[in-house]
Structure 1
């Protein structure tokens, strides 16, 4: 029975969505709390709750893109985090959560 799951393209799509949401949640958890405020974004706790609920609901109910509207809402939240929040925080923290190093008023030096 599991062999047929691997042949189903919707199963692969569901696994990709769950993996994407998991990556967004882990990334949000590893970023510093003050970087969210410095980037003028919602707090770290807000993003952890939203992304955690999105991933948790997919794991409980299944990540069915065509029939589960909650999957799409959670996917949009993860995309917003990855496209808007993550680059702003990454730019401020210089990548991995460290402080701003070698940044002058006009850029890096």
Structure 2
């Protein structure tokens, strides 16, 4: 009988967390209007959706035990989008009458 060790379980949780982050970033990229990317001097929506799709697939495969060595790359792509690109492209379409908690 194979007993799952503590570190095996820890790595499974780590890979699952990377999958969730990648999936969230993919959904956010798909929801963002395409003209917002070049307007904020970022790469195109198609490139980001493609990169994040690949990241999501790689991280899902890592949960299943394959391509484990690529999960750091998948996490890096997702975090670059969430930390750099997403805040910039979310500024497009906001009006000047928005308060700190949304429109008045």
- Count of residues paired in the alignment: 94
Q: Give the alignment's TM-score, normalised by structure 1.
A: 0.73
Give the structure 2 partner of residue 88 of structure 1: 88
From 91, 95, 102, the counterpart of 1:101: 95
Point out where structure 1 has 5 or more consecutive residues left out of the alignment. 93-98, 104-109
1-structure distance, mates of 2:75, 2:32: 20
Where structure 2 has 5 or more consecutive residues not aligned to the other structure, the ranges are 98-104
Q: How far apart are the structure 2 equivalents of 1:102 and 1:53?
A: 36
CA distance in 2, matches of 1:83, 1:10: 24
Q: Over aligned residues, Cα RMSD in angstroms? A: 2.7
**TM-score normalised by structure 2 residue count:** 0.76
Q: Distance in 2 between matches of 1:101 and 1:57?
A: 38
